[in-house]
Amino acid sequence: MTYKNFFSNENITIKTAINLINKNGKKCLIICDSKKKLKGILSDGDIRKSILKGAQITDKIKKIYNKNPITISEENISYKKLLNLFKVNFIDAIPVIDDNKIIKKIF
């Protein structure tokens, strides 16, 4: 998988997030710091809900992204576990992280 336009920091606006999601075609953004430490995931659904609650596209995403996303550790990767996580949780991306929450891969 290519990760272009898939990572961002939490200081972007909703409008910028929408543009990045449109460019990456994955329905979400992985929010991390400059060292790729996972902070959360922002889905297009998070954006829609925030706008319906009155958020403006010039607002920062800091308050609307999921800070406790579903992840899998490097040691626990298996096709069966990944498939189950996708099916049960209806999600579009699962970050693979190490013990320090550094993103190693995304499924």
Q: Which of 87, 68, 85 is CA-nearest to residue 77?
A: 85
Distance CA 82, CA 20 (A): 25
Q: Which of 47, 51, 1 is CA-nearest to residue 20?
A: 47
pLDDT tens digits for range 11-32: 999 999 999 999 998 899 999 9
pLDDT tens digits for range 52-86: 999 999 999 999 999 999 999 988 788 898 889 99
HEC profile of 85-104: HHHHHCCCCCEEECCCCEEE
Q: Which of 52, 45, 51 is CA-nearest to residue 29?
A: 45
Residue 1 has pLDDT above 70, yes or no: no
Q: Which of 94, 95, 69 is CA-nearest to residue 83?
A: 94
5 within 8 A of 12, measured Cβ to Cβ: no
pLDDT tens digits for range 29-51: 999 999 999 999 999 999 999 99
CB atoms within 10 A of CB 48: 11
Look at residue 2 in the predicted model and tell me its pLDDT.
57
